[in-house]
Amino acid sequence: MKNNEKFEVYGNIYSIYETSDMVGSCQFLINQSPGVNSFSEISISTGKEHGAFFTPIIEWVQPVKNWLGGNV
């Protein structure tokens, strides 16, 4: 995605990335997306690379719930 400006996102974007994962931040995607209303991003450090998101763990589930307003 980093080398293809055809990829864009829209609306309110919340990003969580794992610090041990080589993918990293989504800031590049936000920079090429004029339709973004808001952008928030956090990092988590579980040491599980992208596998941190394969199962629901508190490190990312709670921040998502908070971002959604806690009503989940």
Angle, alpha carbons 25-66-8 (nearest 5°): 35
Q: Which of the four pLDDT bands, split at 50, 70 and 90, describes residue 68? A: very high
Tokens of 44: 């988590």
- Give whole-number Cα distances, 44 to 6, 61, 71, in Å: 28, 11, 22
The closest of 57, 4, 64 to 32, measured between CA atoms, is: 4
pTM for this prediction: 0.86
Whether the Cβ atoms of residue 19 and residue 50 lie closer than 8 Å to each other: no
Q: Name the band, by pLDDT with cuts 50, 70 and 90, for residue 23.
A: confident
| pLDDT at residue number 72 | 54
